[in-house]
């Protein structure tokens, strides 16, 4: 659930796009188990994906891995710094 809340605040545009009239909105979190379970659709997935962002986060029964590493060089806003020359 924490993951779902964080995503709602961190990437609101994804959900704004997803909650249009195309029926592609995220599924009700209460309907699923905790994120990361293999064989269980994600709590924050898209039932009817249309865009790239929705396709890569579409509901699936495939095994999924949670990974949110700490990266010292990541910019404060989460963006990537340019490559070294």
Partner 1 sequence: MNRLFIALFTLAAIARPASAGPPPPVVPCAETGTVIPSCGDLVTAGQTVVYAMVGDTQNNLMRRLARLLRDNTDKKLTLAWFTSGSCANIATAYTRQNIPTAQVMSYVPSIAENGTWTPEIPPPPATPMPTCRCTIPAATPPDVINSALFNSACPSGEGAVPPFVKLTQGPVQAYVLAVPEASTQTAITFEEAYFVFGFGTAGMALPWVDEAQMFIRTVSKSTLVAWAKNIGVDPMKWKGVRRDGSPMVVADLEGTTSPEQAIGILGAEVYDAERAKLNVLAYKSKGQYYAYYPDSTSTSFDKKNVRDGHYTVWSPTIWMDYINETTQVAANLNARYIIDIIAGKSVTPAASFDTIDPVAKVGLVPDCAMRVTRSFEGGPLSLYTPTQSCTCKYESIVDTTTCAQCSGSQPCASGTCRNGYCEVQ
Q: Which residues in this chain contact partner 1 in the complex, by CB under 8 A?
A: 3, 7, 11, 14, 35-36, 38, 42, 44-45, 49-53, 55-58, 60-69, 71-74, 80, 83-84
- Taking the least distance from each CB to partner 1, the nearer of 7 and 47 is 7
- Taking the least distance from each CB to partner 1, the nearer of 56 and 76 is 56
Q: How far apart are CA 53 and CA 49, in angstroms?
A: 8
Residues 6+ away with beta carbon under 8 Å from 65: 36
Q: Minimal distance in Å, beta carbon 61 to partner 1?
A: 7
Residues 6+ away with beta carbon under 8 Å from 46: 18, 24, 25, 26, 27, 54, 55, 57, 58, 59
Q: How far apart are CA 15 and CA 18, in angstroms?
A: 5
- Taking the least distance from each CB to partner 1, the nearer of 21 and 70 is 70
Q: Minimal distance in Å, beta carbon 20 to partner 1?
A: 16
């Amino acid at each position: 659930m924490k993951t779902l809340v964080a995503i709602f605040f961190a990437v609101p545009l994804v959900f704004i796009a997803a909650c249009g009239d195309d029926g592609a909105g995220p599924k009700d979190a209460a309907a699923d188990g905790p994120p990361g379970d293999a064989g269980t659709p994600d709590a924050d997935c898209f039932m009817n994906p249309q865009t790239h962002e929705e396709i890569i986060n579409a509901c699936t029964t495939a095994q999924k891995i949670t990974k949110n590493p700490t990266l010292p060089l990541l910019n404060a806003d989460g963006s990537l710094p340019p490559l070294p020359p």
